[in-house]
Structure 1
Amino acid sequence: MFGVVTYCLEDNATGGSRLVLAGQMLVSSVGLFEKEIRTLSGQFSEIDISGIEEMDTTGAWVVSNLAAQHDCPITGASEKAKHLLEAVAVAVGEGELSPPVVPVWERVPLSLGEKVYDARGGIIGVVSFLGAVLMSFGTMIRRPSRIPMRAVVKQMEMVGVSALPIIGLMSFLIGIVIAQQGAVQLQQFGAETLTVNLVGRITLRELGVLMTAIMVAGRSGSAFAAQIGTMKLTEEVDAMRTIGLSPIERLVIPRIVACTFMMILLGFYSSIVGIIGGAVIGQFALGIPFFTFLERIQEVVPIHDVWVGLVKAPVFGLIVALAGCYHGMQVKGNSEEVGIRTTMAVVSAIFAVIVIDAFFAVFFTEVGWG
């Protein structure tokens, strides 16, 4: 006797042994029974389970597997036991269950349709989220006392001040790469002095703010999604609503304001550090004195290039913050959703930033700032 499972062997006329089971074939009791039954020698001619009082899927699997090994029938099964034995018979007979393979000409349109339908729901969710954000902005403008200044300042520190070292290092190295590679190509035409123009314009106009936006998306956008998503998962967001606080005002607005404002400073800071990196290469590789390089930047870079970068920066910051907060607010179900939504926040933010940057490039060219 093992737990609540009992068995006995009865000899029959065919020369085999009839295995008679009784008790409860449950996951909590079949472990010792299965271990002991493996030590028995001889061939079973029949397995009688009429004495089984209760059986679950694990017990049915053990009995069915035993019957398959000895190639013998199972008798005395109740209606419930029959259903369980039929359910596990396929797994016992074939080893592993696998879903039917849908033909590719059906699978591809089906997948495309699901994506389109999901996109429809996503558009509705984004519009609803933007509407909630705009309404909260309007409320806070009418009632400035509701602006959570401490939260805004904290997010500014996290988005901006804490990011200065990594963004500075990245921008410095990008400036070095642009200057070095640009000089190599321009030397073929004897125009290596134009490296100053290249570094100044491409850093202030494009790469400074663009690379900063990508870094902020990977660093702060993902943090927004993970933080809000975790709060949503642990029902802290619901608790805020219960006590009369707006999650949009307390969680979303401070992050949007901080990211939008700090992107202006980070973008300009990144451009300046990138130019310094180019000046360092000019000093040691091109024979252009460091301060001469910086003075030359002021002469060859038009002021509207600076304004182009400053106009792009808050737009990119707004996109990154909206993507991170939106995906964070969409978390539901389980902790795996937090990782999925964090990844989606970073990917969608970077994609949107690059697309908007392309539109900016066309727009500024059309208005004469190309």
Structure 2
Amino acid sequence: MRSPEIAIDPATVPGARSLVRLQGDWTLRALSYRLRSFREQLAGRRDDAAWSLTGITRLDSFGAALLWHAWGRRWPECIEIPDDLRAIVGRVAASAESPLPRVRRFGIVDAVIVLGGALLSFRDHALDFTRLLGQLCLDLAYLARHPAEWPLREISANVYKAGFKAMPVAALVGFLIGVVMSYLSALQLRAFGADIFIVNILGLGIIRELGPVLVSVLVAGRSGSAMTAQLGVMRVTEEIDALSAMGVSRTIRLVLPKVIALTLAMPLLVLWTSSVALLGGMLSAWLQLDLGMAFFVERLPQVVPLANLVIGFAKGAVFGLMIALVACHFGLRVSPNTESLSANTTASVVSSITVVILVDALFAIATRSIGVPR
């Protein structure tokens, strides 16, 4: 790499005061060390100089743009330049003269287009989701007539991965949530002398609402994303197409085991997480309010009817079903590229959590008069 140089000699051309001779490599790498000084020297020779570029050994688009701006976006009257360098500068000049695309303001028509695109995308998702549900119903009817073809190994493997392996993190988060709820509730109840009502708050809050929703969010981020990624990778590597070519149902072998396994595992995870959360709440109440754990255990069935446990179990099963369906839906929509895989995995987690919250709201409306002591 030859360093760029600027040599200024007396002009031999009529009408020019000086002759500017450029030498060396005029590239981004070579010019970056003394770019400011080169710009100052070139700017001072814009109108009264003749130019010689025969000594330039290498010229890239950056060096050509530097010279073009130094010449005031027009060719000098007196210039000696080889044909190959003239072509490079000419391309830079042509691109500089082309007008920039006009930025159009966002208007009502654009808003309608965006809204219409979102509605059409939602329609496609709804149709594919309905088609997946219909296919699963047909698979269940087929398996009812052929019990020997139930994918029991796949179901047990998914129960282990989505249920058993999620127990440690669910227990940790549940215990901490129970401690935090008990601590914050104790601060308020102590001010009114209503210490014993902490059992009501923790029992109803954890068993009926917080336990199922908390587990669902954890499972959606952990197991739901894993299901989507697994199906997406199989789509990218064309394993799903290979199963179809061999006559193997992709829904029976890939989708149905995940849906059944998560539907069965979620109520058990809800029970496990709620129990650990209540344990954390009992320990915090014992330390903060001096309420014995035996009193907590004795009073809990009195203030929390059994219907709340049933509602929590039902929520867990429905949440697990919806998370698995949404995860498999987005996994099967993955295109054979990595960008689609990451986008659909993210959409799967967000959609699963949104669906869980919507279904929980429906449960709250439908069971508002069930299991609540009056």
Give the counterpart letter for 1:158 in structure 2: K
- Hey, what does 2:202 align to over in structure 1? 199
Q: Supply the distance in 1 between the matched residues of 2:160 and 2:301 (Cα, whole angstroms).
A: 31
Matched, 1:357 2:360: yes
Counterpart pick for 1:217 among 212, 217, 220: 220
Gaps of 5+ in 1: 1-11, 18-31, 47-58
Where 1:165 maps in the other structure, the secondary structure is helix
C-alpha distance 356-90 of structure 1, shift in aligned 2 (>3 A)? farther
- Tell me what 1:176 maps to: 179
SS of match in other structure, 1:288: coil
Structure 1 counterpart SS, 2:367:
helix
Q: Which runs of 4+ in 1 moved over 4 A?
A: 12-15, 32-35, 41-46, 59-70, 96-99
Alignment correspondent of 2:272: 269
Deviation, 1:150, is: 1.5
Q: Deviations over 1:56-100 (max 9, x none)?
A: xxx999989987776349xxx9xxx9xxx88x7664346x96563
Give the structure 1 partner of residue 296 of structure 2: 293
- Contact between 1:280 and 1:290, CA under 8 Å: does it hold in 2? yes
Pairwise CA distance, 1:138:
1.9
1:92 equivalent among 92, 96, 109: 96
Greater shift after overlay, 122-131 or 160-169? 122-131
In structure 2, the partner of 1:232 is 235
For 1:127 and 1:65, locate their aligned partners in 2 and report how far apart those are by CA, in whole Å: 60
Q: Kindly report which structure 2 residues correspond to 1:321-360, keeping only aligned pairs within 5 A, or say none.
A: 321-360=324-363
Match of 2:116 among 113, 116, 128: 113
Change (3 A) 1:230 1:13: farther
| CA distance in 1 between partners of 2:51 and 2:130 (Å) | 68
Mapped partners of 1:291, 1:136: distance in 2: 50
Distance 1:184 1:34 in 2: 69
- Which letter does structure 2 place at the counterpart of 1:92? A
2:185 and 2:27 mapped to 1: Cα distance?
A: 74
Say whether the 8 Å CA contact 2:304–2:371 is kept in structure 1.
no
Shift of 1:156: 0.7
Cα gap change, 1:329 to 1:90, in 2 (>3 Å): farther
Check whether the contact 1:196–1:297 (CA below 8 A) recurs between aligned residues.
yes
- Counterpart in the other structure of 1:305: 308
1:225–1:327 CA contact under 8 A, matched in 2 = yes
Q: CA–CA distance in 1 between the matches of 2:100 and 2:229?
A: 36
1:118-157 equivalence runs, <5 A: 118-157=121-160
Whether 1:316 aligns to 2:319 is yes
TM-score by length of structure 2 reads: 0.76
Match of 2:371 in 1: 369
Secondary structure in 2 aligned to 1:369? coil
User: Alpha carbons of 1:297 and 1:43: their partners in 2 closer, same or farther (altered >3 Å)?
Assistant: farther
Are 1:279 and 2:300 matched, yes or no? Answer: no
Q: Structure 1, residues 29-55: CA drift from partner, whole Å, max 9, x if none?
A: xxx9979xx9xx996799xxxxxxxxx
Q: Which is worse superposed, 159-168 or 292-301?
A: 292-301
Counterpart-to-counterpart distance in 1, 2:239 and 2:15? 69
Q: Please give the root-mean-square deviation of Cα atoms over the aligned residues, in Å.
A: 3.8
Q: Note if contact 1:68-1:92 (Cα within 8 Å) is conserved in structure 2.
A: no
Cross-structure match for 2:5: none
Measured after TM superposition, the shift of residue 157 of structure 1 is: 0.8
Question: What do the CA deviations read for 1:246-301 (whole angstroms, capped 9, x no partner)?
Answer: 11111111111111100010011111111111111122111111222112212221
Of 297-306 and 308-317, deviating more is 297-306
Give the superposition deviation at 1:103.
Answer: 3.0
Unaligned runs of 5+ in 2: 1-12, 20-24, 32-41, 43-48, 54-59, 77-82
Counterpart of 2:221, as a letter, is G
CA contact (8 A) 1:45 1:72 kept: no
CA shift in 2, pair 1:122/1:102, >3 Å? farther
Amino acid in the other structure paired with 1:285: Q
Contact 2:68-2:93 within 8 A present in 1 as well: no
Within 2, Cα distance between the matches of 1:147 and 1:99? 61
In the other structure, the counterpart of 1:185 is: 188
Of the structure 1 ranges 180-189 and 211-220, higher mean CA displacement relative to structure 2 is found in: 180-189
Tell me, yes or no, if the aligned pair for 2:232 and 2:331 is still in contact at 8 Å.
Answer: yes
**Structure 1 residues 104-113 or 160-169, which shifts more?**
104-113
Counterpart AA for 1:196:
V
3-state SS of the aligned residue for 1:178?
Answer: helix
Question: Which residue does the alignment assign to 2:107?
Answer: 104
Number of residue pairs the alignment of both structures matches: 333
Give 2:250's aligned amino acid.
Answer: P
Q: Distance in 1 between matches of 2:265 and 2:50?
A: 78
CA deviation map 1:128-155 (0-9, x unaligned): 2222222222222221222222211111
CA contact (8 A) 1:65 1:92 kept: no
2-side partners of 1:238 and 1:13: how far apart?
77
| Distance in 1 separating the partners of 2:100 and 2:233 | 35
Offset of residue 333 of structure 1: 4.3
